Structure 1
């Protein structure tokens, strides 16, 4: 094998490739831990015309829920959609037996929103992205 050969790099990975990679990591994690309850947790809100105006995506595994994405269209903010998405995800996480919910947000995104909903910052990476920070937050919902 030629270690100096350039590997194929793309900024447009196929959805099937990402799904396969995710599945392989889940399989590895399950094999190492014996925990085989990984499930996606997604809520997508669309207009009657099919346009996405709000959504949340994450997963649960091993008694934990990770929220990876939460977004509300600019013209729909202030309607309580973010709160409803977050509460629905928390309710589902509890139904799935999760004892903690974690997420990451950026300093220019919504750390105050998450704090108002009971999340506490546990770590901050300064300078990611340049001039800003990534903030890791956790919440321990009531059982």
Structure 2
């Protein structure tokens, strides 16, 4: 007990910039804990890449699967291709991949100045929001059941 208390008193805090080693270790530790508690395994990342006719990046989506939950991290479409249905195709491809991986639910968030209406149009329902985003905006949280008819 005395040794544990001594170690706790001698720990050091350090604030810095990007820390790949720290991020990797935190992810590993949290994955291990979450897996033990839920039995759902670890997060698995996936992506959907959109390229133009010249092979240049035109958009895409990154996401993660954990058990039966798929979380969209980022979705972006190059400005000259917006409004042509590419965002819908990328999102649909991600939903299909999530189902293929055994997911029953998808979650994501979008700032109010980004695309909340886009997600509503695709069957996502708002489950909450956080105020305090710069410019008096909100972070809007969405959920969609992938098993609904």
Which bin holds the TM-score, normalised by the shorter protein? 0.7 to 0.9
CA RMSD of aligned residues (A): 2.3
Q: Which has the larger displacement, 36-45 or 127-136? A: 36-45
Q: Which residue of 2 aligns with 1:111?
A: 116
Correspondence for 1:9 among 10, 16, 19: 16
The alpha-carbon deviation at position 50 of structure 1 amounts to 5.4
Correspondence for 1:41 among 41, 46, 69: 46
Correspondence for 1:71 among 62, 76, 85: 76
Correspondence for 1:96 among 85, 93, 101: 101
Please give the alpha-carbon distance, in whole angstroms, between the structure 2 residues aligned to 1:19 and 1:50. 31
Please give the alpha-carbon distance, in whole angstroms, between the structure 1 residues aligned to 2:42 and 2:100. 13
- Which consecutive segments of 4 or more residues in structure 1 shift more than 4 A? 47-50
Unaligned runs of 5+ in 1: none
Show the 5 A alignment for 1:114-129. Answer: 114-129=119-134
Count of residue correspondences: 140
Secondary structure, aligned partner of 2:40: coil
Unaligned runs of 5+ in 2: 1-8
Structure with the higher fraction of residues in helix conformation: 2
Q: Which residue of 2 aligns with 1:23?
A: 28
Please give the alpha-carbon distance, in whole angstroms, between the structure 2 residues aligned to 1:26 and 1:49. 39
Show the 5 A alignment for 1:50-89. Answer: 51-89=56-94
Q: Which residue of 2 aligns with 1:139?
A: 144
Secondary structure, aligned partner of 2:133: coil
